[in-house]
A and B are shown apart, each in its own frame.
Chain A
Amino acid sequence: MAAVEFQNVGISFGNVPVVKDLSLTVNDGEFVVLVGPSGCGKSTILRSIAGLAGISSGDMRIGGKRMNDADPAARDIAMVFQSYALFPNMTVAGNLGFGLKIRGEGKAEIDRKVADVAAVVGLSDHLHKRPGALSGGQRQRVALARAILRRPGVFLFDEPLSNLDAEFRTAMRAEIVRFHRTQGASMVYVTHDQTEAMTMGDRIAVLAPLAAGHKANLMQYGTPDEVYHRPANLFVARFIGTPRMNVVTLPVKGGAVRFGGQQLALPPSAVRLGNVILGQRPEHLRLSQEGAEPGLVGTVEHIENLGHEMILTFSTAIGQMVLRDARSGSGPMLGQTVRLSLDPNQVHLFDPASEQRLD
């Protein structure tokens, strides 16, 4: 059991900064997901916990002890690599027992521990095989078992499911969450898949690449609900959620903005601005009843029928709008013109200059 704390951590490769001013705490026993687009430094942050990437500034603590420069083997962590990193020249048993052997444990002791952990992850029948003879899911289990054997305070996962097919990924996702509950250890899990992030994490850290001009990587750190329902800034609003949140910039007039014919009063924080960025998730956008509500005129440009719901794309005077319609039955047809209206209780407002949330 161990907490992981980052305090103003910076990581650079040569003189290229990749992580800046990262402050983030993973509580003891917590499951934290690091999510963000490719190149935002997720792997780098994870690897800095493991000691595989050097920290250039700030402090990183594991279990309260400063670990910036500690030997990777002495950090009370275990890591599951994206590629699994199994030793192809050793059997499953050899892979599992590798660390124990290195640490000088006796053969009988190693055999017993390996057999125990193999039973836990359901690999007992495969101990004599080499990784090359295993399926992707079985390799994944070997990697997991190897981590379990270390009995670490912190488990680190770098996109462990990205090499699996969709169906198996869902199953493995549940398995890892269950595994977290039984182990009680802290877990830091890297993914760029937001479904994984939303479904697995106690808390999610949304990260942005410095290369895109951000001053620090951490965009928001919160529960899945917080991140989804109260995105702290435009980056998070756009990154979390599929289809993406609708975002338009609207001029502020008389303390309100107009969405087509729909008038929307702004909170005090937004009134003084010239423009405001308004966001609404596709599931909150509504099709107006004929003539009933004023709204924005839009033409159906594209229809995606997923069976249980429809994703409708409209072209409007202020840009494209996407609407997710869970109602079955007769929606508008391709090319048809309709009125769209906002759910005023589900509007997200952002300052166009700082891109921060306005409440």
Chain B
Amino acid sequence: MTRARRATILSYAILILAGFLSLFPILWIMGISLKTQADAFAMPPKLIFVPIWDHYAKVWGDAAFIKGFFNSVLAALLGNLMAFVIGIPAAFALNQRRVPARGAILAWLLLSYMLPEFLFVIPMYGLFQATGLYDSVFGLALVYQTFTLPFTIWMMRAFFADVPFALYEAARLEGAKSWQILLRVYLPMAAPGIAATAILNTIRIWNELAIALGLTFDKAQTVTLAVAAYRGYASIDWGALSAAAITSMLPMLIFAVLAQRQIVGGLSLGAVK
């Protein structure tokens, strides 16, 4: 066996192992969601069973869950919209030739993206109560800007930096104003970047729990809270909990499969030209 072949086999072995490790919990939960309570906790685990759809029927018929699901969709849409409306011009401005302290600003943006979410919940709680933003999807999307906005600016700036500055100058010579250059040159060229950023924003918003827990009560509950709701005081509805968890994963899964190329392209930024 040649060195190259051994290396290939080894890397496949590692990939299969890593794939199994990351998929195992999901497969396990999927198993629970399709089993009766008795089957779900049988020892040794039942690998072969007759799937039942009762849990899914229950979850999909549950108004609270459906509301949470669509609240999350709305929060993701609104959160992205706000982030891009503000973030794109901000990134464009940050990408100009001479920006004082650009490095510091970019580092600060990345830092604020990494701050723990709960940090914002406590001060916002009082403010939201006072302004009526408490328990509203709009309010949630607004607080989500604490991480989506810096991230969006940071990402879009990186994509704009990949656009040769000579294009900006050429457009200027043709009489284009800055906003026209942004709209007609930078945005089309950074389209894959917008897609990647939107996807990553959406994933983060979709999975967000801490802020939603602190700033919503009923009307604006998100899908993560709706999933958690199957964990009652006295007992846990394991089947429904699992079915809800799997359901909540589906949009992201479809999203990821469809947009895999953009995500990878977006993460490696200018590396692939």
Contact = CB atoms under 8 A, between A and B. Distances in A.
Contacts of B169: 50, 52, 72, 81, 85
Contact of B174 (A52, A82, A89, A99): A99
Contacts of A72: 169, 172-173
Nearest to B168: A85
Contact of B173 (A77, A83, A86, A103): A77
B172 A73 contact: yes
A81 B185 contact: no
B189 A81 contact: no
Contacts of B185: 87, 89
Contacts of A99: 174-176
B189 A85 contact: no
A235 interface: no
A73 B189 contact: no
Interface in B159-204: 164, 166-167, 169-176, 180, 184-185, 188-189
A79 B164 contact: no
A3 B208 CA distance: 64
Nearest to B180: A102
Nearest to B173: A72
A228 interface: no
A103 B176 CA distance: 8
A52 B167 contact: no
B164 A73 contact: no
A81 B185 CA distance: 17
B165 to A, nearest CB: 9
Interface in A63-82: 72-73, 77-79, 81-82
Contacts of A77: 173
B43 to A, nearest CB: 60
A73 B184 CA distance: 17
B167 A85 contact: yes
Interface in B204-219: none
A98 interface: yes
Contacts of A17: none
Contacts of A73: 172-176
Interface string A26-70: 000000000000000000000000111000000000000000000
A88 interface: yes
Pick from A52, A79, A83 the residue with the most CB of B within 10 Å.
A52
A78 to B, nearest CB: 7
A102 B172 CA distance: 10
Contacts of B188: 89
Nearest to B186: A89
Nearest to A149: B174
Contacts of B164: 83, 85
A81 B170 contact: yes
A89 B171 CA distance: 13
Interface of B: 164, 166-167, 169-176, 180, 184-185, 188-189
Given A83-B164, A89-B185, 11 more contacts: A73-B172, A73-B173, A85-B170, A87-B167, A87-B184, A89-B189, A99-B174, A99-B176, A102-B171, A102-B180, A103-B175
